[in-house]
C-alpha cells in the first residue's frame, strides 16, 4: 500500500485528513534464539517489512485506533483509560494502549487525543515481531507528536513492559531492541543481560537472507513459550544453589557440564543446554562474521536449528520441513527457524543466484509434506521506527 493510499484510508475511516505517516520495521534474528530472557546474546536486525501508521491530532481526550489488517471496528478509549482491552476483537489495541499508559505513568505529557490508522505488511503470525513493531511504532508516534524527551532505549524497555505486563507474554527484550534500535545494513550484537550492544555490518557478499514463512498461525501468548521461560527459571534456581549467577547466559559449556548434576532432570538439562550453547554459538557467529567466514556462520545457524528442535523442542513439523529442505539446496550456507517457534518463519542464507531455486524447491517439498503453501520474502535490513 503506497503512502497516498494510507492517507486516503485514514480519511475514509475518520472523515478528516491525516497529518503524519510513520513506519516501524519487523525483525529477524540471525542467531541467538530463546537466549534473550536467559540473559544471553542475540544477533537481530530490523527488516523492510513492518507497520505503518497515519496520525491525526484530536481536540478532545479520545484515542481512536483502526487497523487495516483486522476485521473490526474503530477501537476508542480516553487517554486516561488504563485498563487492557478484554474483548477478543479489541485485544490487538493493547500493544498500542500499553505504550500510552506507561508513558503517561512515567509523567510524560500526552494531553489530547488522536486518531491512528494502522496497516502492516508483516505476514500475520509469521514470527517477524509484529507486536514489537507495533509497540515501537506507537512509541515513536507519541515521542514525535508530543515532543517527549525520552531516550530510545527507555522506549524499548517500555515496549517490553507493554508486552510483559499489559499483554501478558513473558518475552525478553530482543524484539523491541531490534526494532527500536534498527540500523540499515547492520545487525545488532546485543548482550541481553547488560544491554551492551554494538552494530555489526551484515556483509553477506554474494549471499542474501530469504525469509520462509510457514503460513501456520501462531499466538505465542497461548503457546508453550511461557512454559519454556518457567523451565529455564527452575533450572537457574537449581544451578544457583552452587553457582553465583543471575542468568543462564553467564555460564559456558564447561560450567554447564560440571554442574549439570544439580539439574538431574531430562527436560531441564535439554532446556539449559540450549540456552548455554546457543549463547556461545551467537558469540562465535559474530566472530565468524567479522572474520568473513560465512561458511562457519552457516554451520552455526544450522546447529541453532538442531538445538531448537531437539533440546528446546519449539520447532514443529512446519519449521523443521523448511529448514531441512533448505539445507539440501545448492548455494545454501545455513537455515533455521526464527522467533518463538511452533509456527512462524525460518530464514535461509543463500547465494543470490540460487534464491529463486531455493524458493521453488523448498516450496514443493513443503507443499507435499505439510499440505499447503509456504511463502517466501527477501529481507532488506533497514533503520528503526521513523516518520516518513
DSSP per-residue codes, 344-374: SEEEEEEEGGGHHHHHHHHHHHHHHHHSS--
DSSP per-residue codes, 139-159: HHHHHHHTT----HHHHHHHH
Cell 534456581 locates to: 237
CA 171 vs CA 165, 307, 309: distances in Å: 10, 20, 20
Q: How far is CA 327 from the centre of its chain?
A: 24
Burial of 88 (C-beta count, 10 Å sphere; 0-12/13-18/19+): exposed
Q: Are 26 and 49 in contact (CB under 8 A)?
A: yes
Q: What is the CA radius of gyration of the chain?
A: 21
The packing angle between helices 266-290 and 294-310, to 10°, is: 170
* From 20, 61, 175, 293, active-site residue: 175
Return the C-alpha cell found at 369: 509434506
Cell 518463519 locates to: 345
Name the strand (E) or helix (H) holding 213. Answer: strand 207-213
Cell 485506533 locates to: 65
The Cα 279–Cα 251 span in angstroms is 9
* Residues 250-261: b if buried by 16+ CB within 10 A, e if exposed: bbeeeebeebbe
Cell 540460487 locates to: 354
Cα angle value 131/363/348 (rounded, 5°): 60
**Residues in contact with 186: Cβ distance below 8 Å, sequence separation at least 6, in sequence order:** 45, 199, 200, 201, 202, 381
Active site residue 175: yes
Which positions are annotated as active-site residues? 175
Amino acid at each position: 500500500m503506497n503512502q497516498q493510499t494510507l492517507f486516503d484510508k485514514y480519511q475514509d475511516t475518520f472523515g478528516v485528513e491525516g497529518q503524519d505517516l510513520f513506519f516501524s520495521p519487523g525483525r529477524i534474528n540471525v542467531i541467538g534464539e530463546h537466549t534473550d530472557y536467559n540473559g544471553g546474546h542475540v544477533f537481530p536486525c530490523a527488516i523492510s517489512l513492518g507497520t505503518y501508521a497515519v496520525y491525526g491530532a484530536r481536540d478532545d481526550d479520545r484515542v481512536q485506533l483502526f487497523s487495516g489488517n483486522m476485521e473490526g471496528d474503530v477501537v476508542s478509549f480516553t487517554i486516561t483509560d488504563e485498563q487492557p482491552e478484554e474483548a477478543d476483537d479489541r485485544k490487538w489495541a493493547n500493544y498500542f494502549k500499553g505504550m500510552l499508559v506507561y508513558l503517561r505513568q512515567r509523567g510524560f505529557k500526552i494531553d489530547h487525543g488522536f486518531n491512528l490508522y494502522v496497516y502492516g505488511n508483516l505476514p500475520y503470525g509469521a514470527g517477524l515481531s509484529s507486536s514489537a513493531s507495533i509497540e515501537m511504532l506507537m512509541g515513536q508516534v507519541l515521542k514525535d507528536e508530543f515532543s517527549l524527551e525520552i531516550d530510545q532505549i527507555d522506549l524499548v524497555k517500555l515496549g517490553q513492559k507493554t508486552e510483559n505486563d499489559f499483554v501478558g507474554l513473558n518475552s525478553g527484550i530482543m524484539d523491541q531492541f531490534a526494532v527500536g534500535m534498527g540500523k540499515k545494513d547492520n545487525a545488532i550484537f546485543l548482550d541481553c543481560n547488560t544491554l551492551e550492544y554494538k552494530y555489526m555490518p551484515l556483509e553477506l557478499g554474494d549471499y542474501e537472507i530469504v525469509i520462509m514463512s510457514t503460513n501456520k498461525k501462531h499466538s505465542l501468548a497461548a503457546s508453550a513459550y511461557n512454559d519454556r521461560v518457567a523451565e529455564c527459571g527452575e533450572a537457574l534456581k537449581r544451578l544457583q544453589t552452587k553457582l553465583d549467577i543471575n542468568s543462564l547466559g553467564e555460564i559456558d559449556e564447561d560450567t554447564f557440564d560440571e554442574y549439570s548434576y544439580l539439574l538431574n532432570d531430562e527436560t531441564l538439562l535439554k532446556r539449559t543446554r540450549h540456552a548455554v550453547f546457543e549463547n556461545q554459538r551467537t558469540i562465535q557467529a559474530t566472530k565468524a562474521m567479522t572474520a568473513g567466514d560465512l561458511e562457519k556462520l552457516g554451520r552455526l545457524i544450522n546447529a541453532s536449528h538442531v538445538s531448537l528442535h531437539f533440546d528446546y523442542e519449539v520447532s514443529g513439523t512446519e519449521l523443521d520441513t523448511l529448514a531441512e529442505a533448505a539445507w539440501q539446496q545448492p548455494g545454501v550456507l545455513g537455515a533455521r527457524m526464527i522467533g518463538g517457534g511452533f509456527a512462524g518463519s525460518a530464514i535461509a542464507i543463500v547465494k543470490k543466484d540460487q534464491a529463486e531455486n531455493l524458493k521453488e524447491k523448498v516450496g514443493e517439498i513443503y507443499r507435499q509434506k505439510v499440505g499447503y503453501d509456504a511463502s517466501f520474502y527477501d529481507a532488506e535490513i533497514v533503520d528503526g521506527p521513523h516518520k516518513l
